[in-house]
Amino acid sequence: MKIAWKEYQKDIADDNYFYARSCIRQNFFPGSEAAFLNILRQDLGRDVYEDPRHTSCTGIGYHSDIVPLETIMTVVARQFSLMTEAGYENFVPSCITSFGIYSEALELWHDFPELEEKAHEYLYKATGREFKKPKNLAHTSDVIYHHREEIAAKAKRKLVNVETGRPLRGVEHIGCHYAKIFPKAGVGGSEFPYVLAGMIEAWGGEVVDYPERRHCCGFGFRNYLVMANRGYSIANSKQKFESMAPYKPDFIVANCPGCAMFLDKWQYAISEMEGTFYGPDRQGIPVLTYEELAGLVLGYDPWDLGMQMHQVAVEPLLDKLGVEYDPSAKYLGKDGKFIGKPEECAIGSYTKNIL
Amino acid sequence: MGKYFDMLQEDVRVKEGLAACMNCGICTGVCPAAAYYDYDPRQIVNTVQTKDDAAIEKLLRSDTIWYCGECMSCRPRCPRGNTPGYIIQALRSLSQRLGFFVDSEKGRQQLALKRTIGQNIMRTGYCIRPDLVDPDLHPEQGPVWRWIHDNDKDVFERFGQNYCKPGVGACRKIDDRSMEEIHRIFEVTGGTKFFENIEECSDKKAHEMGYAQGADDTYFMDVLTVNSGTHSEK
């Protein structure tokens, strides 16, 4: 079973990417989007193009059932039109919801060619634009996965505990819309997803298997966005935390920016509501994006990666990795500007144990 | 018999998502909403495939169809290749087109979604932007988010120069021409009309419910925040 993921492979373009940002990732993890571009362009020498005219795919609106199918398909068509205009064929969205949306449009257009025709008509009527479909659609994590060995070759450090020499244990969470809607679109499919596990293994860590590994983070769109419904969201995250905690993970890495945010923020909420902490010594389990994980492996500064924007303190992981960081620089703005600090709370605080 | 089923059949997601369901219940077994709410996607799929107008109308006016989180965990599991989540999307779409959504507490929340996510898209081109995630409405985001929200320009400047400004980068301002194109797409494809219908049906319902000013900010805050606590009884 351990090699079952190998049956689900996908083509991932090697270079020349048209990049589409994510509402949630750019909102909560702008350092991760910056890191993706820096890693691809500077560390790996690849070409990534960003068109300032691209917008949200409106996927959160679609899955909140306020944006009709015809509308979102035409927004997707406009994004493809910008890619076509720029001369690119490899579309790379930075969001799992978007990745599901683009995959859904392409599949529906394949199964119902009249819908594709309609998308062309709507787009032309609304904007005068035309579009070609991408030759390759890959999520940004697919692209990092594709280059994982090259990143390993340039690594400044491994995912290993510097004090004990043991591999760090990572929980990977791929996000429902990466492979549950279109299993063939994800590395390893929906049952044996390998996109993040492949990164962890290539960089020297160990993947934690646990009962609720495939369970949703609990976003549930309207079940978080509407305040009255948030019990659904925190309850599902809690189900995952309780399932993973006995395996003592050193970190969680998430594919989807929403999942990364929820698994971070709901740990805070649970700690404040009932005093439960899922890590040792009243700490949480640090939750990373795969760009942050890759960035740390490549030797990026954690505050340049934006890890100060997490609510669960990340320092316990940084210390295990032997990352040098300046605690006093954590909440500074550009060029060392002091911009105040967040109020302290238990799960966001960390004092290094000095023996 | 079958009027509503025929209307549902016009939605490609029903064509994609519903062959004959054998009621095995694996969708319910794997469903995060079923774990939390008094909710059973198997029953919904079965009701739809009966084509019974009265039963489908009851669904369209109920809280039941609004419990699903659209995670689509049901999709890869169904041995018949059905997608209960797609059927839910079609039911929700039809419930709104027919104005039935205002007859349930969870359905009425569509106004809150339209006035937050919908409005964000039309104003900014994004579903969310940091200045629009109000810490008072998001206590779960914690003190770090409040610090980011209150110092957004300074925090974001560290990761690029174009926060809320033209150009490329995270949370940049999208140019007027592109915003016009998005507005035109919403008009041409029925998105604007869909929004207007949510507003009109909500306003009418608010008056019926005794909100003298209709679907005003008080009604909005009520649909956003009030939970009758009757949804998780097993």
Predicted ipTM?
Answer: 0.98
- Is the pLDDT score of B121 beyond 80? yes
When divided into structural domains, chain B yields a total of 3
pLDDT in tens, A302-340: 999 999 999 999 999 999 999 999 999 999 998 899 999
pLDDT confidence tier of residue A5, bands split at 50, 70 and 90: low
Kindly give the interhelix angle for A113-127 and A96-111, rounded to the nearest 10 degrees.
120
B162 located within any domain: yes
- From B138, B153, B173, give the residue that closes a domain: B173
Domain co-membership, B169 together with B185: no
Give the separation between CA A218 and CA B108, rounded to whole angstroms.
Answer: 21
B233 located within any domain: no
**pLDDT number for residue B98:** 98
Instruction: Summarize the confidence of residues A199-206 as an average pLDDT.
Output: 98
Instruction: Summarize the confidence of residues B167-184 as an average pLDDT.
Output: 97
Give the separation between CA A312 and CA B86, rounded to whole angstroms.
Answer: 35
Are A69 and B93 an interchain contact pair (Cβ–Cβ within 8 Å)? yes
One-letter amino acid identity for B60? L
Rounded to the nearest angstrom, the gap between the alpha carbon of residue A244 and the centroid of all alpha carbons in its chain is 19
pLDDT confidence tier of residue B233, bands split at 50, 70 and 90: low
**pLDDT number for residue A4:** 62
Return residues 133-192 of B near A (CB < 8 Å).
133, 137, 139-148, 150-151, 154-160, 166-168, 170-172, 174-175, 177-178, 181-182, 184-191
* Residue A323: C-alpha distances to residues A162, A171, A312, B178 (Å): 10, 20, 17, 42
- Is the pLDDT score of A6 beyond 90? no
Domain co-membership, B158 together with B205: no
Instruction: Summarize the confidence of residues A68-88 as an average pLDDT.
Output: 98
Rounded to the nearest angstrom, the gap between the alpha carbon of residue A328 and the centroid of all alpha carbons in its chain is 27
Domain co-membership, B93 together with B144: no
- From B60, B75, B106, give the residue that closes a domain: B106
Task: Please classify residue A69 by burial: count the beta carbons closer than 10 Å to its beta carbon, then call 0-12 exposed, 13-18 middle and 19+ buried.
Answer: buried
CATH of the domain at B33: 1.10.1060.10
Give the separation between CA B108 and CA B202, rounded to whole angstroms.
Answer: 7
Helix, strand or coil for residue A207? strand
Question: Which chain B residues contact residue A73 at CB under 8 A?
Answer: 189
- Is the pLDDT score of A353 beyond 70? no
Question: Which chain A residues contact residue B166 at CB under 8 A?
Answer: 52
Helix, strand or coil for residue A267? helix
Q: Domain of B220? A: 116-125+181-225
Give the separation between CA B190 and CA B197, rounded to whole angstroms.
Answer: 10
- Is the pLDDT score of A295 beyond 60? yes
Q: Which domains does chain A have, with CATH numbers?
A: 11-140 (1.20.1050.140), 154-348 (3.40.50.11810)
Does the global pTM surpass 0.95?
yes
Q: A175: nearest CA in chain B? A: B71
Question: Which chain B residues contact residue A216 at CB under 8 A?
Answer: 32, 69, 71, 73
Rounded to the nearest angstrom, the minimum Cα separation between B54 and chain A is 23
Q: Nearest Cα to B40, choosing from B27, B54, B55?
A: B27
Domain co-membership, B72 together with B99: yes
Backbone angles phi, psi at A19, to 5 degrees: -100, 135
**pLDDT number for residue B234:** 54
Out of A65, A115, A232, closest to residue B89 by CB = A65
Domain co-membership, B162 together with B201: no
One-letter amino acid identity for A34? A
Out of B36, B76, B195, closest to residue A190 by CB = B76
Cβ–Cβ under 8 Å, residues A76 and A104: no
Going across the sheet that includes A136-137, the strands are A48-50, A17-20, A90-93, A136-137
